[in-house]
Chain A
Amino acid sequence: AQRVTQPEKLLSVFKGAPVELKCNYSYSGSPELFWYVQYSRQRLQLLLRHISRESIKGFTADLNKGETSFHLKKPFAQEEDSAMYYCALLKSGAGKSTFGDGTTLTVKP
């Protein structure tokens, strides 16, 4: 069965510092990976998807099939980036997304 691991439950950085939220997955097939974000008092929403290769709010994520990772990165964190971040894997053809346990990011002024 597929599995998504986010090793850090809490991550704290200062404003302007680089930030990396780690995501590792286990899946034997060809995965589709997503990052979802939940800001305070807002609903969970898509941040980015690996196949689109977009940069959203300055965040990027590269799928590394060799290391089975999909880490989320931003070179200069902003206070408004403080939120809960979930990595999710969509099993090809199955329609069920598996989520990691989430990482709470706090960006300090």
Chain B
Amino acid sequence: NAGVTQTPKFQVLKTGQSMTLQCAQDMNHNSMYWYRQDPGMGLRLIYYSASEGTTDKGEVPNGYNVSRLNKREFSLRLESAAPSQTSVYFCASSKDEKEKLFFGSGTQLSVL
């Protein structure tokens, strides 16, 4: 059972570089989310997609863009990485907006 799959697991970038974090779920969930986890700050929502074709900003969207490619896939793009974006990124999905979250295993990103 794959559940929510994120790639890559680790990434090191230089300031100014761009990259895309990929996320896919195989549970036929409608809603998908991107969170970042920083020490002492819990999980903060970056962007979410309530359903295919829609995306909305979360608590900390600056410096990020997202694409809900189809029902299964929800990618997060950093156009010009900054050291402040060093974090662990989690993708999550849920059956709908009222249901529990299923998380991916995370991407550890370092921006030098």
Mark A residues whose CB is within 8 Å of B.
Answer: 4, 6, 9, 32, 34, 36, 43-46, 49, 86, 88, 90, 93-102
Contact = CB atoms under 8 A, between A and B. Distances in A.
B105 A34 contact: no
Size bin of chain B's contact surface? 20 to 34
B48 interface: yes
B80 to A, nearest CB: 26
Given A95-B31, A95-B50, A43 B43 contact: no
B98 A32 contact: yes
Contacts, number: 51
Contact of A101 (B33, B35, B42, B98): B42
Contacts of A49: 100
A43 B101 contact: no
Interface string B10-45: 000000000000000000000101010000111111
Given A43-B4, A96-B48, A101-B41, 7 more contacts: A4-B42, A43-B105, A44-B101, A86-B43, A93-B98, A95-B98, A96-B45
Contacts of B58: 96
Given A9-B40, A99-B43, A101-B40, A36 B101 contact: yes
B38 to A, nearest CB: 9
Given A95-B31, A95-B50, A96-B48, A46 B101 contact: yes
